[in-house]
């Protein structure tokens, strides 16, 4: 089932929560939605779920219009599953009954699945590693186990689309890593399309096929994790996903001259016009090499943080503080005068006369 949003706008009083959003979620695709608080992530998910209808625009599922300003298909009539941040298990039902419930009551469950619902419950509990917990009540489970039950319950009726709103945010870091892997494995096995809202961009980069970066109710970029990370379209995407440095400077075609070091000229193809319009070049902290000599931007180390496998430096380049990540082999010290070379561009220093006029 593919899901298509066309010019979807949602207005609450004076707030435009979503503004003309266009997006297609293909069959079996894992789409993560990231963005700062209040950018419209939950609103988008609620519209997909059928809890709310758009002010204008429309949503199609499987070529049927399920929501526009005049009509809305209710959540139970859409072939979707949901997993939210709070585990939301029914307190009076055993684990096996939680998973059985949608198989008995979901409108879309096919007859065969209904007939073998007992087997399906066991299959789903095995999938999430809870086969031995079928008889337990929710209050006898840990947070991670409750969330696994919620996932098994949502997937049991074989929904075409699974909506997940911050499903791991109430779990500790280790459990989150473990469940990330499980959700990826489950996604591969079930081939259900997933729309996954998260605050955690590392989670989005690690798990999704596509990432939607939102800001102020609009989509800033929609692309694969690699595209969004390596070729951010806007300064916002570059800093929000992966914390790039935005080097200020002047552009002439593909040539970039950093404002804070007049003698560096980088030829940087593949940078978007939006970046050029804002007079910046995005550079990831790991795209710099740091050393005490050589060619590149000259600066002074203002802060050093040991992070286990690498060091994080703050380097002052004539007033602009840049973040640089580097491993132990190129260790420098606080207060050192250093050179930051870009790993992809030629870092030859040029005299001012050699630089084309801007």
Is residue 289 involved in binding ligand ATP (CB under 6 A)? no
Is residue 342 involved in binding ligand ATP (CB under 6 A)? no
Rounded CA separation 284/346 (Å):
16
Q: Where does 159-297 have alpha helices with state H?
A: 173-190, 201-207, 225-230, 235-240, 273-277
Backbone dihedral region for residue 328 (phi beyond 0: left; psi -120 to 50: alpha; all else: beta) = alpha
Least Å distance, CB 28 to ligand ATP, is 25
Q: Which helix (H) or strand (E) holds 300?
A: strand 297-306
- Among 42, 34, 10, 19, smallest CA distance to 221 is for 34
Structure tokens at 207: 């798990």
Least Å distance, CB 18 to ligand ATP, is 8
CB neighbour list of residue 141: distance below 8 Å, 6 or more residues apart: 95, 133, 149
Can you tell me which of 3, 42, 117, 234 binds ligand ATP, judged by CB under 6 A? Answer: 42
Least Å distance, CB 68 to ligand ATP, is 19
Least Å distance, CB 215 to ligand ATP, is 10
Can you tell me which of 22, 26, 38, 303 binds ligand ATP, judged by CB under 6 A? Answer: 38
CB neighbour list of residue 79: distance below 8 Å, 6 or more residues apart: 1, 61, 62, 108, 159, 160, 161
- How many residues interact with ligand ATP (rule CB under 6 A)? 12
Least Å distance, CB 204 to ligand ATP, is 13
**Contact region for ligand ATP (CB under 6 A) — 11-19, 101-109, 274-282, 336-344?**
11-19
Is the CB of 42 or the CB of 201 nearer to ligand ATP?
42
Rounded CA separation 149/89 (Å):
8
Rounded CA separation 113/186 (Å):
18
- Among 239, 329, 249, smallest CA distance to 285 is for 239
Is the CB of 9 or the CB of 248 nearer to ligand ATP?
9
Is the CB of 39 or the CB of 332 nearer to ligand ATP?
39
Is residue 198 involved in binding ligand ATP (CB under 6 A)? no
Is the CB of 40 or the CB of 282 nearer to ligand ATP?
40
Least Å distance, CB 222 to ligand ATP, is 16
Structure tokens at 328: 């132990």
Is the CB of 207 or the CB of 317 nearer to ligand ATP?
207
Residue 267 sits at the vertex; the CA angle it makes with 264 and 269, to the nearest 5 degrees, is: 150
Is the CB of 40 or the CB of 159 nearer to ligand ATP?
40
Can you tell me which of 15, 318, 344, 346 binds ligand ATP, judged by CB under 6 A? Answer: 15
Least Å distance, CB 38 to ligand ATP, is 4
Is residue 17 involved in binding ligand ATP (CB under 6 A)? yes
Report the DSSP pairing between strands 311-317 and 161-165: unpaired
Can you tell me which of 7, 12, 267, 277 binds ligand ATP, judged by CB under 6 A? Answer: 12
Can you tell me which of 39, 48, 155, 341 binds ligand ATP, judged by CB under 6 A? Answer: 39
Q: Which residues bind ligand ATP (CB under 6 A)?
A: 12-13, 15, 17, 35, 37-43
């Amino acid at each position: 089932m593919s899901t298509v949003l066309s010019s979807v706008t949602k207005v609450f009083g004076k707030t435009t929560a979503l503004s003309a959003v266009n997006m297609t979620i293909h069959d079996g695709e894992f789409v993560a939605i990231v963005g700062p608080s209040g950018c419209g992530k939950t609103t988008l998910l609620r519209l997909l779920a059928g809890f709310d209808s758009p002010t204008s625009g429309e949503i199609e599922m499987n070529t049927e219009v399920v929501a526009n300003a005049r009509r809305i298909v209710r959540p139970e009539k859409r072939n979707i599953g949901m997993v939210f941040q709070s585990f939301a298990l029914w307190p009076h039902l055993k684990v096996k009954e939680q998973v059985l419930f949608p198989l008995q009551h979901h409108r879309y469950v096919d007859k065969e699945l209904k007939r073998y619902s007992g087997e399906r419950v066991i299959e789903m509990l095995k999938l999430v590693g809870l086969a031995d917990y079928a008889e337990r009540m929710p209050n006898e489970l840990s947070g991670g186990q409750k969330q696994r039950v919620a996932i098994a319950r949502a997937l049991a009726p074989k929904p075409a689309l699974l909506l997940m709103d911050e499903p791991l945010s109430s779990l500790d870091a280790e459990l989150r890593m473990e469940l990330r892997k499980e959700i990826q494995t489950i996604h591969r096995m079930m081939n259900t399309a997933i729309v996954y809202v998260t605050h955690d961009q590392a989670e989005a980069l690690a798990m999704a096929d596509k990432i939607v970066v939102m800001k102020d109710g609009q989509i800033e970029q929609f692309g694969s994790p690699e595209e969004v990370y390596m070729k951010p379209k806007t300064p916002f995407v570059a800093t929000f996903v992966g914390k790039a440095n935005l080097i200020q400077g002047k552009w002439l075609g593909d040539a970039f001259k950093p404002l804070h070091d007049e003698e560096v000229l980088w030829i940087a193809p593949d940078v978007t016009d939006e970046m050029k319009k804002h007079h910046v070049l995005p550079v990831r902290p790991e795209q710099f090499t740091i050393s005490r000599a050589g060619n590149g931007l000259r600066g002074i180390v203002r802060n050093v943080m040991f992070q286990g496998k690498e060091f994080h430096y703050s380097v002052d380049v004539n007033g602009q503080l840049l973040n640089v990540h580097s491993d132990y082999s190129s260790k420098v010290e606080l207060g050192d005068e250093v050179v930051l070379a870009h790993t992809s561009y030629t870092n030859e220093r040029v005299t001012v006369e050699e630089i084309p006029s801007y």
